[in-house]
Structure 1
Amino acid sequence: MWGNANTKPLVIILLLTILILAIEAKIILRKFGPPPDDAPNARATRAPQWHTITQRVDHFNPRDIRTWEMRYISNDQFFVEGGPIFIYLGGEWQISAGSLMTGQIFDMAEQHGGMMYYTEHRYYGYSYPTEDMSTENLRYLSLDQAIADVVYFIQYVKANTPGFANSQVVVIGGSYSASMATWIRLKYPHIIDIAYASSAPVRAVADFYEYYEVVDHNIGLVSQECLNTIGEGIFQLEARLETDDGIAEMSQRLETCTTIQNVEPYRSFLFNIAIAEIFAGLVQYAGQTSIQDDCNLLLGFNGTSLDKLIGYVRDYYGNDCIDDYAEFIRMYSAVENTNDAWRPWLYQTCTEYGYYQTTTSDYQPFGNTFGLKFFVDMCTDLFAEDFGTTILDTGIIRTNIFYGSLTPEITKVVSVHGTVDPWHALGILEDLNPLAPAILINGTSHCADLSSIRDTDPPQLIAAKIRIQQLVSEWLLLN
């Protein structure tokens, strides 16, 4: 393993933890990333500690000796010698201490006398392998490099922590990091003993049209009137944008930062990132109660379907105006290292995963307003002229071949999805054996199973959380 861990602790008090969670919640409202943490468990009596560990910039080039500092968090509140090592894998977000003070990882560590860690993914949060995020430097942002970081981290802590000699390793992930948990168990079974993957999209695909089909289905289950109003509002908005007077009116009423340009890629940006993503985020992270609440809000505005749609959109944005494509590209073409996830995440989608949620299906309420070309052109505009269909398709083929897509040969991984979560369309593993079960939870959303068991959980979610804990317990006993 490379380098030494910085063991100087950062004292964290409860109020600071809550503040961090509140700040992160605003960031995680986007469709990527897991939901925000719950408040710390009442049994969390020890503050997690912050550390850094020295990693190689390029794990696969022995001639490249450059290194960088990866952040991670530890919590040894429940650890007893020989207990398992539970590692929550960071994904496309900034890690927080609160994640080791609640949730399934906290509960399972308590049950098994386990050690808890939370690792920060390269290029996210404050873990920077290079001096900036130029396209040239982002070549070191890849799945291969990221899971190698975790493997070297495990090797280091096992060699340098008393009581770890006989400890098994359990990796836990949510969303993209759940995919990582699945893939690291597949690629490094001699290092990783068990994987728990919550809402993992493991099949890379360019045109992920199924996403908005699931959004359509779940809004329609709650309120067909709500779904119809969204669709009619989009249709009426499209019609209004066909005239100069309509463009001027819609620019004023939607409160766009600049006058709407009804040409590509500005048009797709408006309908996708400015409007459709609001409903996507609602469904991805919401239960049916939350969808009903938002439908009631939308339908409560007076006037036509377009009036209701505009009222709902403006309620979401509050006092902020709606940016356009040029501003988006200007903002995320900046190469400075920041803890904003948009630039590095878009780079990963452009080179390895795709996952572009389009309206190429007829079974969604947003018309034919944004297709795959919009996203491919965004890759070109953000990174380089050659970042187009060839790089995207090559990366997707490579990811699916190297990591098994929906048919990996894998054991001791529990794959969990909620039926409300659109990502389950890319994550239901096929032909699994009893040592790799898939749990589909009816009526629940993205990563809902990662939280502790709560009295407010529906029965099917409680049953799933209990089953996850049982499986991990059984597999720990197998070794």
Structure 2
Amino acid sequence: MRTFVLLLSLFAIAASLDTIPHHARGGRAWRERQGGLTAAPAEAKYFKQVNDHFDASLDTFMQKYFVVDTYFKGDGYPVLLYINGEGPVSGPPSGYLLDVAKELGALVVTMEHRFYGSSIPNNDFSVENLRLLTVEQALADLNYFATFIRSNVEGAANSKFLCVGGSYSGALSSWFREMYPDTVVGAWSSSGVVNAIFDFVQFDEQVAAAAGEECADDIRNITHKIDYMLSTADGNKKVKTLFGARVDVADADFMYMIADSSAMAIQYGHKLDLCSSLKAARESGECIVKNFANYTADLWGAEFGGGCFYDTECLKTDRTMARSWRWQKCSQLAYLQAAPFVKPLRSRIVDLPAQIRQCEEAFAPGVFPDTALFNLRYGGAHPRTTNVVYVDASDDPWQQASVKEAQGKNEPFLYIECDDCGHCIDLDRSGAAVPEPVQKAQSQILEYVKSFLA
């Protein structure tokens, strides 16, 4: 079976469907998530994508994509369009999606999101050019890509398309079905953050609820001790050095990184591991701050604390996914994870003014996410579409930006409840090693997908 491409094809390794962000892939968490995942061979390909779908200009850029035809049975069989989100793409998707493709005899296609990896319109990260980085442009990219696949992949011309995504791309999958119902017949939205929340205190609150009171108190104790160290010049330098951060990084930026380390451990299935480590340090009398620094470096990589992702000064000139994703949050989506008023896990200096200030300093005065207008357009926690299955899990703090219940007969909602069941777990591996609640949800997802494609 042949695929026609417009430019160079490069061999690439298969990528996991899980959504551990790229700035946190240097440690044990990423290695463990990659182990044992099913991979499918594919080549990196590029096609000409439109710079601006809402302008008469014909300017284009080269957008990376992958086609997995391992299980494709040809004419009349479906196409599963996996939507990538806020990061570069090194290979085709893997995990449970490939099990679904095998069951359905489906083609799997995926495309790198604009302004990530090598798919950069005008090769320019200036504020003026970043205005081409919007949800609307991304959805139009997907529609254009689907048309391209129909025309250039043998056997796909008359196929039904169903889109799949996790986290931000899970939201994109729902929005794509809503805005382009003639292109895709249905969607699978894993941990889809469809509700753009401006002051997202619920994130911290959900992390605390998932952690349990004892573990949450251990996290609060670490936060308080680091806050105290930041209050003196000597302590400030020492604690930032301990975590591998620049000594002159803004305190609020640094504490956002501290908060993310524990939150992401719970979010990505390491709750029991994290809580055991914190408890052991507390009971042994070990320095809990040093213990947490070592844990952070081990789980997320030695570069996690000193990377660009949280650092406002670095974000001003960055040319990677860190600047692109911050732009999307600052200009449209928000999800600004501020400290709640009551019993926060994160430092109170990680507040809404600090994050708005970061947006303006990294980009320009007046850059601000109008989430009310955005949610008015797409429906927020109540998407206005059909044939979408939404899936969330009990340890995932992002569930607070998702739907909370079925949105109707044709918009089912599945909730997976178990320890260490976190973000996008339904897209991860399958089989006997997977917790029974996940296996059950995956079976239900398959049946919903079949019904959407019928």
Q: TM-score range by the shorter chain?
A: 0.7 to 0.9
Q: Pick closer, same or farther for the CA change 1:147–1:379 going to 2, 3 Å.
A: same
Q: Give the 3-state SS of the residue equivalent to 1:201 in structure 2.
A: coil
> For the structure 1 residues 407 and 48, does the alpha-carbon distance in structure 2 shift closer, same or farther, using more than 3 Å as the test?
same
Alpha-carbon distance, 1:360 to partner: 2.6
1:84 to 34, 55, 78: 78
Hey, what's the Cα distance between the residues in 2 that align with 1:199 and 1:253? 33
Counterpart residue identity of residue 97, structure 1: G
Q: Which amino acid aligns with 1:354?
A: A
CA contact (8 A) 1:84 1:167 kept: yes
The aligned residue for residue 455 of structure 1 is 432
1:172 matched residue in structure 2:
164
Quote the Cα distance in structure 1 between the aligned partners of 2:206 and 2:309.
30
Structure 1 distance, partners of 2:268, 2:117, is: 22
- Partner of residue 149, structure 2: 157
Q: Is contact 2:254-2:310 (8 Å) kept?
A: no
Counterpart residue number, 1:52: 46
Contact 1:219 / 1:291 at 8 angstroms: preserved in 2?
A: no
**2:285 aligned with 1:302, yes or no?**
yes
Residue of 98, 104, 115 corresponding to 2:96 = 104
Equivalent position to 1:115, from 66, 87, 107? 107
Q: Deviations over 1:178-202 (max 9, x none)?
A: 0000000001111111100101111
Q: In structure 2, how many angstroms separate the alpha carbons of the residues matched to 1:315 and 1:208? A: 26
- The structural deviation recorded for 1:227 is 2.5
Deviations 1:389-425 (A, max 9, x none): xx32x3x122101111112221110000011000000
Cα pair distance change 1:359/1:327, threshold 3 Å: closer
Q: CA deviation at 1:239?
A: 3.6
Match of 1:198 among 177, 183, 190: 190
Report the equivalent of 1:281: 264
- Counterpart contact for 1:174–1:450, Cα < 8 Å: yes
Partner SS state of residue 173, structure 1 = strand
| 1:296–1:162 distance in 2 versus 1, CA, 3 Å | same
Partners of 2:34 and 2:239 in 1: CA distance = 37
The answer to whether 1:29 aligns with 2:4 is no
- Show the counterpart of 1:73: 66
SS in 2 for 1:356: coil
Structure 1 length-normalised TM: 0.84
Query: In the aligned structure 1, how far is the partner of 2:435 from the partner of 2:240?
Result: 42
Structure 1 residues 194 and 7, CA gap change in structure 2 (3 angstroms):
farther
Q: How do residues 423-462 of structure 1 correspond to structure 2 at under 5 angstroms?
A: 423-430=398-405, 432-443=407-418, 444-462=421-439
Match in the other structure for 2:215:
226
Q: Check 1:402–1:38 CA distance in 2 against 1; reply closer, same or farther (3 A cut).
A: farther
- Give per-residue Cα distances to partners, 1:138-169, cap 9 Å, x unaligned: 01000000110110111122133332233110
**Map of 1:408 onto structure 2:** 383
Determine the structure 2 residue equivalent to 1:93.
87
Deviation of 1:327 (Å):
9.4
SS in 2 for 1:192: coil
In structure 1, distance between residues paired with 2:108 and 2:276: 37
Aligned match of 1:128 in 108, 120, 123?
120
1:250-297 CA deviation, whole Å, 9 max, x = no partner? 56666654268xxxxx22222222x11111110110154334444355
Amino acid at match of 1:369: I
What is the distance in 1 between the residues matched to 2:141 and 2:409?
A: 30
CA contact (8 A) 1:258 1:324 kept: no
The Cα RMSD (Å) is 2.9
Relative to structure 1, the CA distance from residue 82 to residue 365 in structure 2 (aligned partners, 3 Å threshold; closer, same or farther) is: same
* Percent of aligned positions that are identical: 25
Cα deviation for residue 243 of structure 1 reads 4.3
Amino acid of the structure 2 residue aligned with 1:372:
L
| Distance in 1 (alpha carbons) for counterparts of 2:355 and 2:437 | 37
**1:202/1:406 contact within 8 Å kept:** yes
> How far, CA to CA, are the matches of 2:321 and 2:10 in structure 1?
24
1:208-357 correspondence runs (5 A): 208-220=200-212, 224-244=213-233, 246-247=235-236, 250=239, 257-258=246-247, 266-273=250-257, 275-296=258-279, 298-299=281-282, 302-303=285-286, 307-317=287-297, 322-323=305-306, 328-334=311-317, 336=319, 340-357=320-337
SS in 1 for 2:391: strand
Cα deviation for residue 454 of structure 1 reads 2.1
Q: Corresponding residue for 1:141?
A: 133
Pair 233,130 (structure 1): closer, same or farther in 2 beyond 3 Å = same
The SS at the match of 1:136 is: helix
Match of 1:263 in 2: none
1:6 paired to 2:6: yes
Q: Is the 8 A contact 1:230 1:309 kept in 2?
A: no
The one-letter code sitting in structure 2 at the alignment partner of 1:462 is Q
Normalised by the length of structure 2, the TM-score is 0.88
Where in structure 1 are there 5+ consecutive unaligned residues? 261-265
Does the aligned pair in 2 maintain the 1:55–1:67 contact within 8 Å? yes
Shift of 1:103: 1.8
Q: Is the 8 Å Cα contact of residues 308 and 315 (structure 2) preserved in structure 1?
A: no
Q: Once the 2 structures are TM-superposed, how far is the Cα of residue 320 of structure 1 from its aligned partner?
A: 5.8
The 5-angstrom pairing of residues 350-369 of structure 1 reads 350-369=330-349
Whether the 8 Å contact between 1:200 and 1:415 is mirrored in structure 2 is yes
Equivalent pairs counted in the alignment come to 439
